[in-house]
Structure 1
Amino acid sequence: MRFNKLDLNLLVALDALLSEQNISRAAEKIHLSQSAMSNALARLREYFEDELLVQVGRKMEPTLRAQALRDQVRDILVRIDATVAAQPEFVPAHASRLFRLLVSDYTMTTLMPHLFKLAYERAPGIRFDLRPQITYPNRVLERGEADLLIIPKEYCSTEHPAEVVLQETFCCVVWKESPLAQGEMTYERYMAAGHVVVQVGDGQSAIEDWFMQRLGIVKRVEASTYGFLSPAHLLAGTNRIATMHRRLAEAAARSLPIVLRDVPVAVPTMEQSAQWHKHRTPDPGLAWLRALLKEAVTAMDHARHEGR
């Protein structure tokens, strides 16, 4: 099919080339031979009257025109996929769809087991691809490479719809043999202690520390790590404190020598949201999954209150 003399199949090749910036990888991504991809690049260069990708040392780098095209081409393809590929109805019991979710290890540990259980009961053919939340995960959402992003409301993109699925509070976690495990956790004790904190990518603070920084609170950081569960494993034998999501800390306390204390700082409640691409709002399968997420939160908190 052609539009303004452009073979629209070339847009798929262009998207792969701009994403991979490598002819061989781009060809593999869309199941073409390397020679066919080279031919597609030649035709694209002729149409746009631009080199699009130029060899710089051992790499290919996009030209300014290619950089300007990247997001627009991806948006076109996402829109087409959402319009043409989406099924008019979704029958869970007969579905075999793959859902791609970007989740943190907090969500992985607390919520995903309950979502998987419910999904298996109602739609055993459904498959999941859980991916880590890299820096700027909204870019993956923008490119249509994920169905849902589960992330604090404050980090959601303003360009796409989102809905809050759960609320979470925070608590202090300390080694049970530490002096900090005894007595009240006052503001003075909290600020005087060394802290284990989470950095979520490129030095970006976790949401609880982001909240505190906005309040002008600066903790004495003695260790940093990359996973939300890991601070609970790093406290034994120390007098350090970790400020953790309460649900995650409660789960960790069942198997680790730690105790939980209230945070002596007014840390706001975290609103964990599910966000999806605006072009996928009418998708009945995605609407089903979002509703199931809310059911999973109810199941998770029921199990929590039952002490399991």
Structure 2
Amino acid sequence: MDLNLLIALDTLLREGSVAKAAARLSLSPPAMSRTLTRIREATGDPILVRAGRGLVPTPRAVAMQDEVRAVVERAARLLAPGAPSRPEEFVRSFAIRANDALIWSLGARLIARAAKEAPKVVLRFVPEGDEDVDALRDGRVDLDIGVQGALGPEIRMQQLSVEHSVALVRKENHLASGRVTSKRFAAASHLLISRRGKSHGPIDRELAKEGLARHVAAVVPSFGAALSIVSTSDLVVTVPAGVAATAARTFEVVSFRIPLELESLAFAMAWHPRFDADPAHAWLRDGVRASFRAPK
């Protein structure tokens, strides 16, 4: 199979549509259909089959998709002019997926590093969504930062820090002074951060073990909204310790240890192995590591 057919196969599998693949490769739909016929003849497999009004990949197509993508990318790197190795020469746009609390606490440091070392680099912070690994595989996300769940076996991952959760309140809050017991903590009004609107979590389960329950006054979808509310009210919000330390430098808020046995938060970054030897991506990963090591 020649390289053009591999590129066409990669595009067909990514788009799942002859018309969309044709548009992406600047071909006419009939020409793309003829190319699909050639691919079917070369592989001995239908590759894409009709399902209702659309097309779905065959089991063999699904099995070969990642390998085809990797071959096309390796060929593109091999045939491309030599990639720059010095940060000041990088001309890239990186999509970094993270929740807004991490963006808030790390974003300024990463942007400042890019401005100083790689001024032609653009950092695009994208919000968390379904956290699907496909976004890393197909290049929609270059680096995923957060508490990582199960990822594909080929995905690279590196731990960045292990933090505990703390409670964050404004300085005038009565919990900002004195010893905070589990009863005193439960008696306060709480603010939760949840993109899905959940009003119950690990803290509630731990309180229940002591026969306690807390009052959740509100649930907001982002850390920015929570920080704005907590800094001007008597509500309590739970955040990672590193995020709380950053917030305390900007807002009139303080943090204290939560008097419960909560699991630590292990933050890590994940990326696809095709970027292992990429100098620009290696520079980005180094910047993320340095940002996590910097004093909070």
TM over 0.5: yes
In the TM superposition, residue 14 of structure 1 has moved relative to its aligned partner by 2.7
Q: What do the CA deviations read for 1:79-109 (whole angstroms, capped 9, x no partner)?
A: 5456665946602222223333222212221
Q: 2:98 is matched with which residue? A: 103
Structure 1: tracts of 5 or more residues without a match:
none
Q: Report the 3-state secondary structure (helix = DSSP H, G, I; strand = E; otherwise coil) of the residue aligned with 2:31.
A: helix
Q: Cα 1:172–1:144, aligned 2, differ >3 Å: closer, same or farther?
A: same
Unaligned regions of 5+ residues in structure 2, if any?
none
Partner AA of 2:48 in structure 1: L
Q: 1:51 and 1:296, CA in 2 relative to 1: closer, same or farther beyond 3 A?
A: closer
Percent of paired sites with the same residue: 28
Aligned match of 1:231: 226
After TM superposition, list the pairs within 5 Å mapping 1:1-308 onto structure 2.
2=1, 7-47=2-42, 48-50=44-46, 52-57=48-53, 59-81=54-76, 87=82, 90-152=85-147, 159-174=154-169, 180=175, 183-191=178-186, 195-199=190-194, 223-235=218-230, 240-253=235-248, 259-298=254-293, 300-301=294-295, 304=296
Q: When the two structures are aligned, how many residues end up with a matched partner?
A: 291
Shift of 1:39: 3.2
CA distance in 2, matches of 1:119, 1:99: 11
Alpha-carbon distance in 2 for matches of 1:194, 1:18: 51
Q: Distance in 2 between the 1:216 and 1:64 partners?
A: 48
Q: Measure the CA separation in 2 of the matches of 1:130 and 1:10.
A: 34
Distance apart, 1:243 and its partner CA: 0.9
**Alpha-carbon distance in structure 1 between the residues aligned to 2:206 and 2:281:** 35
Which of 235-244 and 278-287 deviates more?
A: 235-244
TM-score (norm 2): 0.75
Q: Report the 3-state secondary structure (helix = DSSP H, G, I; strand = E; otherwise coil) of the residue aligned with 2:94.
A: strand
> Aligned letter for 2:135?
V
Shift of the 184–129 alpha-carbon distance from structure 1 to 2, 3 Å rule, reads same
Please give the alpha-carbon distance, in whole angstroms, between the structure 1 residues aligned to 2:77 and 2:144: 17
Distance 1:52 1:45 in 2: 9
Equivalents in 2 of 1:16, 1:265: separation in Å?
51
Q: 1:111 is paired with a residue of what secondary structure?
A: helix
Distance 2:104 2:195 in 1: 16
Give the whole-Å Cα distance in 2 for the aligned partners of 1:29 and 1:211.
49
Contact 2:70 2:274 (8 Å CA) reproduced: no
Q: Which amino acid aligns with 1:170?
A: S
Cα distance in 1, alignment partners of residues 16 and 202 from structure 2: 35
